[in-house]
Structure 1
């Protein structure tokens, strides 16, 4: 029964990621069609205004022209999303605690977590893991392959650059002491910003690709996730790139939006 549920859930997740990737691909294609873009200063109630307003956020919100008053009622402050970070810290903290207890104290996962892992992974988590490992390898070193090392190095490399880019963006508004002195937007320079407008999005993509490498490049479901991340981040990168180009007269023309030298 568990195996059947795992198979069904796995197929549903594949279709979900494929559908999300297709949706953002469609959005990206629509954004590249000039006649579907809302003209600057337009106050029309047409499809472009509604579509662009739904799609854009933050500094790119002004790129959809004059916004109808009724659309502005749906705007919410960023502080409303604190719950996302709180839940994320609590959930990931619980998972980390469960993992540490399992690895170093040999405590089993809770029943509901075991059942959840059974459905998502299709394996029986309550089996004897020591016997499982012993039966499939003579030592832990045999389980480490070249793609594990390559994926880990790629993950670290991309994460370091993403952190550097986030620091560069944060420092555009702060002094060396950390005091916020500027609430406007400026052109970022340094690190991968010399090649693309949104290097933190590119680094995010590389992080997901590094996980695919760690899986031996064979996990089809994860490649669907990578495809979703690619198109999702591409949409945001295109919007940010257009914002920079339209608001800064001397914006570097050599920069691409998302992928260095390509896109």
Structure 2
């Protein structure tokens, strides 16, 4: 089937989240309860009870399930990419068939194998770091998320992985390549460095948030929310969303030839901006002494 299903899924997700975000931001008092409670989650979740939606809510910590799946998947893709690099062998037929089905049979090898390997390496580092954060750093409260967010996150990581390799040498039938590390440009290497810096700053921010719920001995003493200080929190309310956006922009930077992955980045930008707006509102409404000089998402600007 010569239809890029992944691209249409990403466009649908971006448009849907964008429209719902506008409704939440400007018309929430007039919206049905199920939209507000279904869309909001975590510290920003709606306090209005809804009988049906309550039964569709799951623990927020279940977000970690995706990283457990995605981590080994990235190692598998890395091995396939190296196999192409050193032995010039295409991916297994089952992988090629899956990509043909979801990204279309006319997809082309637009991205060099060197660029893809670099993308897989830095994204793998990020995913395994997220596994460490989810299970050894973050201290989750008893808050829940709607199953809608659980499914949306599954689609996000699925489409991200498929978009990462779907238009690259080694993952397109009959693709050929000129093996050379010189194919990597200075801009791509800089994007990779900024990506790794961002994921490190995300880790630092999670350590700060977790520290708010622990004593000096590292024991969890509370699950209440407090005002975070230090790191990027000195400048913005949402370092996690800020660094997430930067990471995907950097991935788009060294996969600039692709025609699909940029839709992943678009979705991340829309989604993370809305999360940042809601979290900043929550902080300022909850804590009367919240630092007024902090920006929402972009240091010194907004």
Q: What TM-score do the two structures reach when normalised by structure 1? A: 0.77
**1:234 to 2:273 alignment:** yes
* Count of matched residue pairs: 237
Structure 2 counterpart of 1:21, from 14, 17, 35: 14
* Distance in 2 of aligned mates of 1:220 and 1:99: 20
CA shift, 1:188, in A, is 0.7
* Distance in 1 of aligned mates of 2:246 and 2:223: 30
Residues 150 and 213, structure 1, Cα contact 8 Å, conserved in 2: no
* Distance in 2 of aligned mates of 1:204 and 1:80: 19
CA shift, 1:48, in A, is 4.1
Q: Residues 93-140 of structure 1: CA distance to partner in whole angstroms, max 9, x if unpaired?
A: 4323434555567765322123334564534746475xx316xxxx53
Change in Cα spacing, 1:114 to 1:15, as seen in structure 2 (3 Å) is closer
Residue in structure 1 matched with residue 192 of structure 2 by the alignment: 152
Change in Cα spacing, 1:145 to 1:83, as seen in structure 2 (3 Å) is closer
Change in Cα spacing, 1:104 to 1:133, as seen in structure 2 (3 Å) is closer
SS at match of 1:179: coil
Change in Cα spacing, 1:195 to 1:91, as seen in structure 2 (3 Å) is same
Residues 202 and 259, structure 1, Cα contact 8 Å, conserved in 2: yes
Report matched runs for 1:178-257 at 5 Å.
178-216=218-256, 218-257=257-296
Residue in structure 1 matched with residue 124 of structure 2 by the alignment: none
CA shift, 1:223, in A, is 2.9
Q: What is the root-mean-square deviation in Å for CA atoms of aligned residues?
A: 2.8
Change in Cα spacing, 1:140 to 1:69, as seen in structure 2 (3 Å) is closer
* Distance in 2 of aligned mates of 1:51 and 1:105: 52
CA shift, 1:185, in A, is 0.5
Q: Residues 128-162 of structure 1: CA distance to partner in whole angstroms, max 9, x if unpaired?
A: 75xx316xxxx532x12232122112212222211
* Distance in 1 of aligned mates of 2:260 and 2:91: 25
CA shift, 1:258, in A, is 2.1
* Distance in 1 of aligned mates of 2:220 and 2:287: 22
**1:133 to 2:126 alignment:** no
Residue in structure 2 matched with residue 87 of structure 1 by the alignment: 69
Structure 2 counterpart of 1:77, from 23, 47, 59: 59
Task: List alignment gaps of at least 5 residues for structure 1.
Answer: 39-45
Residue in structure 2 matched with residue 52 of structure 1 by the alignment: 36
Task: List alignment gaps of at least 5 residues for structure 2.
Answer: 110-170
Residue in structure 1 matched with residue 28 of structure 2 by the alignment: 37
Q: Residues 60-92 of structure 1: CA distance to partner in whole angstroms, max 9, x if unpaired?
A: 11xx34323443233222355554343223423
**1:66 to 2:48 alignment:** yes
Change in Cα spacing, 1:219 to 1:101, as seen in structure 2 (3 Å) is closer
Q: Residues 184-218 of structure 1: CA distance to partner in whole angstroms, max 9, x if unpaired?
A: 111111111112111111100000111122134x5
SS at match of 1:238: helix
SS at match of 2:299: coil
Residues 28 and 234, structure 1, Cα contact 8 Å, conserved in 2: no
